Amino acid sequence: MNGIELKNVSYKYPLTDFFALKDINFTFEKGKFYGIIGPNSGGKTSLCNLVRGLIPHFYQGDLSGDVLIEGKDVRNWDSNLLSTKIGYIFQNPFTQISGVKDTVLEEIALGLENLGIEKNEMIERIIEVVKLLKIEDLIKKNPNNLSGGQRQRVAFASIIAMNNDILVIDEPTSQLDPESTSDVFEIIDMLKEQGKTILLVEHKVDLIGEYSDEVLVMNNGQIVDNGTPMEVFSNKALLELDVAMPQVALLSHDMNRLDQPFEYITITKSQAKEQIVKRMGCVNGSN
Amino acid sequence: MSVSRLHLIQMEGELYMDYEYVFSFNKPQLTGNWFLDLNPLTKLNLVIAIAIFSIISKSWQVSVCIIILYFLIAAIAGKFYSFAKIYIKLGLLIGSLLFIMRAMFIPGKNTLFSFLVFNITQEGVNQGVWFSTLVVSLCGSLVLYSKVTRAKDLMFALEKLGAPHSATYIILSSLQSIIDLGERAKLIMDSQKARGIETEGTIFQRVKAFMPIMGPLLLGAISSTEEKAIAMDARAFSSPTKNTHMSELRQFPLWEKMMVLLINISLILFIIWRLI
């Protein structure tokens, strides 16, 4: 079933002459995890703004084509209703904190209060996300005094607690350490298992390769490639566009160049390990 | 899983969750201090009544008594130090300034001291004492209220009375913005300092260092406002559903209602007495 359909979509921000998004045709299916990658200024955040309905409701600009969210054009959606349907976590952790709550617990509750959730359920959901994000030690702290990484986790917890059907997540791990980053990906994977549609913009392509169902590559406002991680990261042409690839995919491409190809382009560490072990087995066997 | 069952679970190896704190939101979060725990609107009523009393009485002795009363209330509320720290500085600054201005420029028949164009009269001094103590006492009501009431509690109480959610958010957010701007200014000043620019010294040097940061400070504030609006939208701020609240406000007990009634009736009687 289709969640979000984009048909011939182009968009220019107000007072600009260039297209932030150009001729986008894509369908985001319900319950899938989409990784969105590409160089800076490629249109990734603009795509998020579009899917979230901030374009055209918040950013006016020049939008053409059809953006259908659950079959209804984004222009016809009440933007207030869209916020209850689509959760949005964006890059800057410092502006995602409301600034009006004294503790992290109350900060997480803010979205639930706005959704009119009853207190018992509110507490239940808060406990769940606090445990999930491993921020038990933060609940009594003032969100305005947290570090960037802590704020990012709190912002993430606040949106997850709202239990939206669709999640648009723009670089949620930019301020996180490797361990917390892995945790975030595991949580996103778990949300996918719960049937949520997830659009994740991320530069950490190794994890995108491992977790996402489909990858979209954006450059100059266009989708230059899309498909399963295997299909996308097997595309050598992307290297010329400066698109980041998982380390193990780069290793596979290098092996191809050396005329010592693996059986396939490896995307995950386990695949690379399997191929290397096989190769070493061959070498040892020949010896 | 029900909340009560969750309460009991603290799994081994799990990070410590302060469930007592989480469940404290099921009832009003009281401090144990009877004055602090008064309803924010009761406290507001009280300070407004005192301020009106001070204006109507037109007596510097009453204003001084009220100033002393503020210190007493602050002490009862356990906020003496934080109140006194701000109020004494503010009172001395505003009080002395107003006294000097009034004393020097209000004409009168009984000259006490004359110097160049300045003619200090008994009438000017009397006016100065009355006016400065009045203004200091009025400032005291504001400072005291800010010390004994959390802004969010007042806004919550106003929301309960029917004030729009957006209006209370704007007020709270504006108060936080002042703090954020101060922090951002400090950050920029520190960056300037790290680049070798002199940011300390005389007032002139400080002003000179501060002026160039006004541009980035204001531009930064404007751009963060846009992102904040998006962040609030992501939290369903404008959701058409009627919002609920995590916090609870303490209900007005009968004695508190009676106290408010008594204060207001006394004030009305005092006003009538003064007018007659």
Domain count, chain B: 1
- Within 44-63 of A, beta carbons closer than 8 Å to B belong to 54, 58
Among residues A165, A138, B61, which one has the least CA distance to residue A155? A138
- Provide the pLDDT for residue B202: 78
- Give the other-Cβ count within 10 Å of B190's Cβ: 11
Statement to judge: residues A118 and A205 lie in one domain: yes
Whether A250 and A220 map to the same domain: the answer is no
The pLDDT of residue A127: 94
DSSP A63: E
Do A181 and A71 share a domain, yes or no?
yes
Contact A80 B234 (CB under 8 A): no
Q: For residues A86 and B237, what is the distance between their CA atoms, to the nearest angstrom?
A: 13
For residues B83 and B32, give the distance between their C-alpha atoms in angstroms, rounded to a whole number: 19
* Residue B5 confidence (pLDDT): 45
- B162 is a domain residue: no
Q: In this structure, are A218 and A270 located in the same domain?
A: no
Residue B93 lies in a domain: yes
The C-alpha atoms of residue A139 and residue B130 are separated, in whole angstroms, by 49
pLDDT reported for residue B10 = 53
Distance from CA of B161 to the nearest CA of A (A): 17
Averaged over successive runs of 10 residues, the pLDDT of chain B (276 residues) comes to 46 72 88 90 93 90 93 94 93 91 81 77 88 93 93 88 86 83 83 78 78 81 82 87 87 90 94 86
Q: Number of helices (H) and strands (E) in chain A: give both, helices first.
A: 12, 10
Q: For residues A150 and A259, state if they share a domain.
A: no
Which of B2, B26, B244 is best to mutate for the A interface (most A CBs within 10 A)?
A: B244
- ipTM for the predicted complex: 0.82
Q: What is the pLDDT of residue B11?
A: 54
For chain B positions 10-39, those within 8 Å of chain A (CB to CB) are 14-19, 21-23, 25-26
- Amino acid at the residue B4: S
Mutate to test the interface with B, among A52, A84, A113 (most CBs of B within 10 A): A113
The pTM score is 0.81
Low-confidence residues of chain A, pLDDT below 70?
A: 1-2, 282-287
Same domain, A153 and A285: no
- Indicate whether B26 belongs to any domain: no
Rg of chain B over all Cα atoms, to the nearest angstrom: 25
List chain A residues with CB under 8 Å of B187.
Answer: none
Nearest to B164 by CA among B252, B247, B237, B250: B237
- Whether residue B54 is contained in a domain is answered as yes
Q: Quote the domain boundaries for residue B55.
A: 33-149
User: Do both A18 and A105 map to the same domain?
Assistant: yes
Shared domain check, A180 and A116: yes
Residues A195 and A251 occupy one common structural domain:
no
Nearest by CB to residue B15, choosing from A80, A120, A136, is: A136
Two tokens, residue B253? 């007990």
Residues A216, A253 share a domain = no
Q: Are A182 and A72 contained in the same domain? A: yes
Using DSSP, state whether B166 is helix, strand or coil.
Answer: helix
Domain match, A128 and A48 both: yes
Coil vs helix vs strand at B111? strand
Q: Which of residues 168-227 of A touch B (CB under 8 A)?
A: none
Q: By three-state DSSP, how is residue A67 classified?
A: strand
Peptide bond into B212 cis (omega under 30): no
Q: Which domain range does residue A259 map to?
A: 246-287
For residue range A96-139, list pLDDT tens digits in order: 888 888 899 999 999 999 999 999 999 999 999 999 888 999 99
Task: List the CATH number of the domain containing A154.
Answer: 3.40.50.300
Picking from B164, B143, B142, B146, the residue whose alpha carbon sits closest to that of residue B154 is B146
